[in-house]
Structure 1
Amino acid sequence: MTSTATSVIPSTSEWTPGDVEQAKEAREKLDIWPLDEYNCKLLNEVHPRNYVTNADEKEGSLVYDLIAIGAGAGGLVSSKQSARRGAKSAMITERLAGGDCLNVGCVPSKALIRSARAVSQVRRAAEFGVIVSGEVKVDFEAVMARLRRLRATIAPADGHPGTEEAGTHVYQGRGRLTGPNTVEVNGKTLKFKKCVLAMGGRPNIPSSIEGLMDAPFTTNENLFNLQVLPPRMVILGAGVVALEMAQSFALLGSQVTVVNRSSKLFESKQGDDEAAIILQNQLEKDGVTFLSSSTVQKVETINPGDGDKKLPLMKVTISDKVLECECLLVAAGRAANVENCGLEAANVDYELGKGVKVNDYAQSVSNPSVYAVGDCCAGVPRLTHMSGEMAKLVVQNSLANDQWKLSSLVVPAVAYTEPEYATVGIASEEQAKKQGVECDVYKASLEHNDRAILESSNIGFVKILVKKDTDEILGATIVAERAGEMINEVSLAMKNNLGLYAIGRNIHSYPTTGEAVMGCGVQYINKHLPRLD
């Protein structure tokens, strides 16, 4: 392996606010609008115009120790870490660096959620002795401008300049495998010793719904371009994205209807029934209507809108109901990006929709020189932190000839609703039963948690499942105001083989909601205390 040094300064031209031709280009090619100062700042980091790679193209220089195809968390981590460890590294990106997380996922959604939470807090101010006079009004343009500003602030962490500084050659264009150890981008053939497929995924669009494919529906890929608050929103799906956005838009002032094929939330994911009831009740209090055991049958476009200030108008037939809406958000799962990538030429096995088939080392089952991480990989959680962790594993296995295993990873997941819903491992009794695992369950309600009481947020619980008659933690479900922070303690314990006894003996600060995690451990200890005769 040889250390990489930048020898050619990339040639770019900047995105400029107000440029009509650039605005058209950003909108049609990159699904980004409006082209204001914040989106220009974003694009100048993650998709510079007329970008030219920083690779020194002398003969024989286009042979790499590792090439990552894709620039989300998986591609960025694998290419940067490879370069930092002395490997000759390249990253190929067709769309926006940072992937879904930065541009159309984690980052913008959490900015929107924060604005929605502010609305909720103001409306509840009187509970805390704070009098807010007058009507609570939402300036939706300001909400979205804040979202774009904060996204642009975070963008340099994923931008091309930072990746180049790490020592990686960045190629902006579509990468396509042309053989077992070659990939083509912008008419150039690059050779690799190892390749990491990190093409990500996309929203799954049900093709069976009459009229949907011709309708101006919305997905997470363009939802955050909205400049006008939709008066009425219909959401197809009841997963994490659907619930987070349903609650947020309802709080911001939209009339939101969630169409759920199941009779309850989380049924398809084997989630916790009690958690589902708590979340649905809270979302309904915030104004969300649920149509359970329902399906969208037909979508009619009354007015297509202009994708800008003029919203579309659609008529949606749902079982025996017909609803009109200005925004139809399709949040019905994800599909892996594996088409038109040249996987066949590289002898990489995959399944349409599900992704590249890999072994326990994240290695293609059919081409040992190729690895896959993140949403384009079959059989793994589609989470940003999973992509990043898989990338670390791949770098270690591919460059250090190690044997880190996917099966060793402990991966928490969080829905950033209010309250939050966090899980890790086996998250419910029903899930344990389906897997044939016998378990004991320890549960601490937030009803009597002092911090939760003081915060007026004592609806929720911590539930930890352990292997029967032991303290070996199998998994957990937490419903609480900061469940996403609390679940990490359980994940750490599971990863390091610390049992529930250790959590019970760990001193927790008072008063904290995290004491509920300790409460489960204390229950275990109390159950197994020696008794005096």
Structure 2
Amino acid sequence: MNTINTDVAIIGAGSAGLSAYRAAKAAGASAILIEGGAHGTTCARVGCMPSKLLIAAADAAYHATHAGAFGVHIDGAVRIDGREVMARVKRERDRFVGFVVAGVDAMPDADKLSGYARFIDDSVLMVGEHTKVHAKSVVIATGSSAVMPAMYRALGDRAIINDDVFAWDDLPKRVAVIGAGVIGLELGQALARLGVRVSVLGARGRVGPLSDPDIRDYAQRVFSEAFHFEPRAQVQAATREGDEVRLRYVSGAGDVIEDTFDYVLVAAGRKPNIGGLGLKDTSLQLDDDGLPVYDPLTLQAGAHPVFVAGDANGVLPLLHEAADEGRAAGTNAARYPHVAPVERRAPIAIAFTDPGIAMVGARHADLMPESFVTGEVSFEDQGRSRVMLRNRGLMHVYADRASRRFVGAEWIGPDAEHIAHLLAWALQMKLTVDDMLRMPFYHPVVEEGLRTALRDAAVKLA
């Protein structure tokens, strides 16, 4: 049995764990990075990057088949080769993973430990069956995994999660997507554009992350034109028939529908990977889901020298948030008991659909009625959007009545990912709508639509 003594032990070598390791070392502490699975981070291996590669292929197919409106005609059919599509996705994905693995390989061997860790007590970890790690502080950065309800687990390999899509060698013909969140919409639309017959089945009327009823309803209409979309479906049965799956569900209109698919892609949420950590063998206070009760400001679990960062805390499963939290957790672990709050950035969320979906700052659902005004713009007649034939979208910006400060926005529209960054910067700088309207807007650009919404808000504040 090996024994290791260290200042900081980090469980998990994903985005949060790697950031925590670097921060702990920068603070002058000794640190060891423990990983039981493959290196490469969720984002690079099965998340952000491979999904964007699939979306890029889907966009290329879509634009090739919709060029006629510009007078640009492709004589003959556009052929989508599923094997070539997936080969590029995997090839480029492996490049991104390789960059992360190279960074881990460059770390000192003494700072890395392979195996799954579990707590023996508050400050001692058992890694595999071979090494005990005595740590002054511990960072839990074990990430998250997709949820697979029992109904779908019974389907065997015909029920998949987003990770499995990127192992395909070819594209299937028919896919049911369970869940209308960001992952469900992104992958559902991408597969539909690549010639797969797709049905996206939500359960509670959800359309991505949107909470503004008008924006959500608009987005529902847009996506319903792109694929079969049932945001309020109730799945009654899922039965495997050979290499096919038969689903029976009740639509939002109350109709009972039965359909057959090659795969059911379950995108029904994610849960923190904490099941194998042996947290019940510690004195940490746990919530009803078995997660350590922690301070969201410092990421510290009670008064213990244990910190929970990234997807493992179940708050914001986004790479940039995981990286920020990892840095804070690593620094606090190294300097314990002297801990400091996480420096949070302006909230920003993006779905890489077409049109894109974005949210910045406060959600509509979280704002107090009568405390704000809403500025609106439709992108249907917005100049640059119409020039590009990308004129689908509706945007709401929210401004505080008392201070005139910009507090948030929700929208669907062209170039949403870029406008989202402008608004996040404006929010973090605490700008009013008047400050924002004094900023330069070039002509003709899609951002002029944002100016229209801000002007609308300014008029309503007068």
Determine the structure 1 residue equivalent to 2:220: 280
Cα drift, residue 392 of structure 1: 2.1
- Alpha-carbon shift at residue 246 of structure 1 (Å): 1.0
Q: Which residue of 1 aligns with 2:36?
A: 94
Residue aligning to 1:251? 193
Deviation at 1:82, TM superposition (A): 2.5
Structure 1 equivalent of residue 248 of structure 2: 317
Closer, same or farther in 2 for the Cα pair 1:396/1:442, shift >3 Å?
A: farther
1:202 partner letter: S
- What is the identity, as a one-letter code, of the residue corresponding to 1:296? V
Offset of residue 252 of structure 1: 0.8
* 1:67 matches 2:9: yes
Structure 2 CA distance for aligned equivalents of residues 334 and 98 of structure 1: 19
- 3-state SS of paired residue (1:417): coil
Distance 1:513 1:354 in 2: 46
Q: 2:423 aligns with which of 473, 485, 490?
A: 490
Q: Which stretch shifts more, 110-119 or 167-176?
A: 167-176
Determine the C-alpha separation between the residues in 2 that align with 1:297 and 1:462.
36
Question: Aligned partner of 1:403: which letter?
Answer: A
Q: For residue 126 of structure 2, give the secondary structure of its aligned residue in structure 1.
A: strand
Cα distance in structure 1, aligned partners of 2:402 and 2:447: 25
Q: Deviations over 1:263-316 (max 9, x none)?
A: 4535xx562223323333333332x1123432222222112xxxxxxxx31112
Equivalent in the alignment of 1:165:
106
Q: How big is each residue's C-alpha offset from its partner over 1:314-333, in whole Å with a ceiling of 9 and x where there is no partner?
A: 11222322211101111111
| Corresponding residue SS for 1:508 | coil
Partner of 2:253: none
Matches within 5 A, 1:36-185: 62-159=4-101, 161-165=102-106, 169-185=111-127
Counterparts in 2 of 1:278-357, with a 5 A limit? 278-286=218-226, 288-303=227-242, 312-319=243-250, 320-351=256-287, 353=289, 355-357=291-293
Task: Please name the residue that 1:432 is paired with.
Answer: 367
Q: In the TM superposition, what are the counterparts of 1:211-250 in structure 2 within 5 Å? A: 212=154, 214=156, 216-250=158-192
Alignment of 1:382-461 (within 5 A): 382-400=317-335, 401-405=338-342, 408-428=344-364, 430-433=365-368, 438-461=371-394
3-state SS in 2 of match to 1:440: strand
Structure 1 residue 470, shift from structure 2 partner: 2.3
Question: 1:354·1:376 contact (CA, 8 Å) conserved in 2?
Answer: no
Q: Which amino acid aligns with 2:424?
A: S
C-alpha spacing 1:362/1:98, structure 2 compared with 1 (3 Å): farther
Amino acid at match of 1:411: P
The residue identity in structure 2 corresponding to 1:280 is: Q
For 1:201, the equivalent position in structure 2 comes to: 144
Q: CA deviation at 1:99?
A: 2.7
Alignment length (residue pairs): 453
Q: SS state of the match for residue 196, structure 1?
A: strand
Q: Distance in 1 between matches of 2:269 and 2:153?
A: 19
Counterpart CA distance in 1 for 2:447 and 2:357 is 14
Does the aligned pair in 1 maintain the 2:374–2:457 contact within 8 Å? no
CA RMSD of aligned residues (A): 2.5
What is the alpha-carbon distance in structure 1 between the residues aligned to residue 31 and residue 228 of structure 2?
50
Q: Which amino acid aligns with 1:189?
A: K
Name the CA shift for 1:448/1:396 in 2 (closer, same or farther; >3 Å): farther
* Conserved? CA contact 1:164–1:170, under 8 Å: no
1:358–1:365 CA contact under 8 A, matched in 2: yes
> Counterpart of 1:135 in 2: which secondary structure?
coil
2:276, 2:420 → 1: CA distance?
39
After superposition, the C-alpha distances for 1:2-30 in whole angstroms (9 at most, x for unaligned) are: xxxxxxxxxxxxxxxxxxxxxxxxxxxxx
Letter in 1 for 2:327: K
SS in 1 for 2:72: coil
Q: Deviations over 1:459-487 (max 9, x none)?
A: 21332112223222221113222211211
How far off its partner does 1:410 sit?
2.2
> In the superposition, relative to structure 1, how do residues 129 and 273 fare at CA in structure 2: closer, same or farther (>3 Å)?
same
CA distance in 2, matches of 1:437, 1:354: 39
Alignment partner, residue 189 of structure 1? 132
Q: TM-score, normalised by structure 1?
A: 0.79
Deviation of 1:79 after TM superposition, in Å, equals 1.1
Deviating more after overlay: 313-322 vs 332-341: 313-322
Q: Which has the higher contact order (CA 8 A, sep 6+)?
A: 2
Partner residue of 2:211? 271
Query: How much has 1:336 moved relative to structure 2?
Result: 1.6
Matched, 1:465 2:398: yes
Identity of aligned residues (%): 23
Tell me how far 1:144 sits from its aligned partner. 0.7
Consecutive unaligned residues of structure 1, counting only runs of 5 or more, are 1-56, 304-311
SS in 1 for 2:431: coil
Is residue 298–residue 340 contact of structure 2 (8 Å, CA) maintained in 1? no
> 451-460 or 358-367: which moved more?
358-367
Shift of 1:175: 1.4
Matches of 2:80 and 2:399, distance apart in 1: 46
Contact kept, 8 Å, 2:218 with 2:394, in 1: the verdict is: no
* Cα 1:297–1:87 shift into 2, 3 Å: same
Bigger shift: 515-524 or 246-255? 515-524
TM-score (norm 2): 0.90
- Confirm or deny: 8 A CA contact 1:504 1:521 kept in the other structure: yes
Q: Would the aligned equivalents of 2:401 and 2:461 in 1 still touch at CA under 8 Å?
A: no
**Aligned partner letter, 2:260:** E
The CA deviation at 1:337 is 1.3
Consecutive unaligned residues of structure 2, counting only runs of 5 or more, are 251-255
